[in-house]
Amino acid sequence: MGMNQTPASERVHIGFFGKRNAGKSSVMNKVTGQELAVVSDVKGTTTDPVYKAMELLPLGPVVMMDTPGIDDEGALGGLRVKKSYQVLNKTDAAVLVIDGKAGMSREDQALLERIHKKNIPSILVLNKRDLLTEEEVCQTLSSLPEGYQEGKDYLWVSAQEGTGVRELKERLAVLASTEENQKKIVGDLLSPGDFVVLVVPIDKAAPKGRLILPQQQTIRDILDADAVSVVIKEDRLKETLESLGKKPRLVITDSQVFGRVSKDTPKELLLTSFSILFARYKGNLETVVEGARTLEKLKDGDKVLISEGCTHHRQCGDIGTVKLPAWIRKYTGKNLEFSFTSGTEFPDELGEYSLIVHCGGCMLNEREMKYRLSCAEDQGVPMTNYGIIIAYMNGILERSLEPFS
């Protein structure tokens, strides 16, 4: 990848979904102006998701994703449908392509429900307009959900003749931009002039000469809120709190020194951790808290997957492969079976696990993290992360959630 290219993680991912032969590949080709995907009148032409990174006006850098039909049949077909549904977990804006003549089907309804459940901005494309009479147009419109508006919720398109394609691109640009966030890490909890104490242990795990990214981002967020950050090591906490002269709005700590910091922070002060702030920032807090609570339900013989984003950070490795399994065994008192993955490897099939514990994901981009969480959720497997499960086992998760209640 060249220096000037946008990494895949920062590109808007646009997915085309729908039944076989609806014209997904045709519509995508028309939108991009390129013959990216094979088109034919044989049902099930697209058998694997197709990804293509490109510049698309008026959207900018995108990844276009074509998928197999959601109504494919047989054992192999079933696997393809599953793949298409997994692509949803990477999608920022979804195009549901429907054969205009056939109207909306049960499979389309189910897919649309899933898209809504995942809060993915979407548009229905009624394709093959060239084949329809006015009467058939009315018939198809009556198969759409109540209150659907042309231009906003659905569009008529003919991939064959190229009509409606410009409107579709414009609508996609709107959908993709509303997704972008005005989210805050902590700034929404602060007023101008508030003090925030950040506890940053400087141990072997700390990188040389700098702070790690989540710490930098938090300090920046506090500056943006016009508040004051006081950054200290854990052994200075007590004296700092005593000499501050003003009650801090919040104490934020690294999870590794949670136990000590919780003891040194008077009960009337709010305390939380970087991992909790970031889980909230990424919209995962509820999921990972729920995940930690399933520790109570684990039984002898249950399998736990410990998964890290980084492959090279040895310190992280020690926590994942040595400390965490020992702590979890001790906390639950159960005879558990642990599996480990690292880096980009992450199993497709998660069903055998009773719990997944993922590292904070410092080396993984947010999109990949979100994808993994969504896959676990789809398969009904609870997932949590290192910081949250450590706080839980130390008995201070509830206290650390107070700032957000």
We find the least distance from the C-beta atom of residue 39 to Mg ion, in angstroms, to be 7
Which residue lies nearer to ligand GTP by CB, 130 or 398?
130
Which residue lies nearer to Mg ion by CB, 45 or 160?
45
**350-371 residues labelled b (16+ CB within 10 A) or e (exposed):** beebbbbbbbbbebbeebbbbb
Residue 43 interacts with, from ligand GTP, Mg ion, none (CB under 5-8 Å by kind):
ligand GTP
Contact region for ligand GTP (CB under 6 A) — 123-131, 136-144, 226-234, 288-296?
Answer: 123-131
Token pair listed for 65: 């994703």
Q: How many residues bind ligand GTP (CB under 6 A)?
A: 24
Binding-site member from 29, 32, 46, 89 for Mg ion (CB under 5 A): 46
Binding-site member from 44, 49, 325, 347 for ligand GTP (CB under 6 A): 44
CA distance to 329, 358, 367, per residue, from 339 (Å): 14, 12, 23
Spacing of C-alpha 97 from chain mean position = 24
Separation of alpha carbons 186 and 215, rounded Å: 12
Which residue lies nearer to ligand GTP by CB, 127 or 265?
127
Alpha-carbon torsion angle 101, 145, 177, 81, nearest 10:
-60
Which residue lies nearer to ligand GTP by CB, 130 or 300?
130
Which residue lies nearer to Mg ion by CB, 33 or 193?
33
Based on the shown chain and the rule CB under 5 A, indicate whether residue 25 belongs to the binding site for Mg ion. yes
We find the least distance from the C-beta atom of residue 263 to ligand GTP, in angstroms, to be 60
Which residue lies nearer to Mg ion by CB, 25 or 229?
25
Separation of alpha carbons 175 and 166, rounded Å: 14
Residue 244 interacts with, from ligand GTP, Mg ion, none (CB under 5-8 Å by kind):
none
Binding-site member from 12, 15, 17, 20 for ligand GTP (CB under 6 A): 20
Residue 158 interacts with, from Mg ion, ligand GTP, none (CB under 5-8 Å by kind):
ligand GTP
Which residue lies nearer to ligand GTP by CB, 84 or 342?
84
Asked if 195 contacts 227 with a C-beta cutoff of 8 angstroms, the reply is yes
Helix residue ranges per DSSP H, 336-384: 366-378
Based on the shown chain and the rule CB under 6 A, indicate whether residue 84 belongs to the binding site for ligand GTP. no
Q: Phi and psi for 48 in degrees, rounded to 5?
A: -135, 150
CA nearest 96: which of 148, 55, 41, 132? 148
Which residue lies nearer to Mg ion by CB, 25 or 273?
25
Token pair listed for 235: 């052994």
Which residue lies nearer to ligand GTP by CB, 104 or 305?
104
Based on the shown chain and the rule CB under 6 A, indicate whether residue 159 belongs to the binding site for ligand GTP. yes
Task: For the chain, report the end-to-end CA distance as a whole number of angstroms.
Answer: 44
Instruction: Please compute, for residue 263, the number of CA atoms within 13 A of its CA located in the half-sphere on the CB side.
Output: 6
Based on the shown chain and the rule CB under 6 A, indicate whether residue 77 belongs to the binding site for ligand GTP. no
Separation of alpha carbons 389 and 364, rounded Å: 19
CA nearest 344: which of 313, 379, 324, 372? 372
Contact region for Mg ion (CB under 5 A) — 38-46, 82-90, 183-191, 383-391?
Answer: 38-46
Based on the shown chain and the rule CB under 6 A, indicate whether residue 215 belongs to the binding site for ligand GTP. no
Residue 73 interacts with, from ligand GTP, Mg ion, none (CB under 5-8 Å by kind):
none
Alpha-carbon torsion angle 197, 202, 208, 214, nearest 10:
-40
Based on the shown chain and the rule CB under 6 A, indicate whether residue 41 belongs to the binding site for ligand GTP. yes
Contact region for Mg ion (CB under 5 A) — 41-49, 208-216, 350-358, 397-405?
Answer: 41-49
Separation of alpha carbons 341 and 303, rounded Å: 13
- What is the helix (H) or strand (E) element at residue 267, kind and residue range? none
| Number of other CB atoms surrounding residue 318 within 10 Å | 13
Based on the shown chain and the rule CB under 5 A, indicate whether residue 229 belongs to the binding site for Mg ion. no
Binding-site member from 158, 229, 342, 400 for ligand GTP (CB under 6 A): 158
Task: List contacts with Mg ion (CB under 5 A).
Answer: 24-25, 45-46
Task: List contacts with ligand GTP (CB under 6 A).
Answer: 18, 20-26, 39-41, 43-46, 68-69, 127-128, 130-131, 158-160
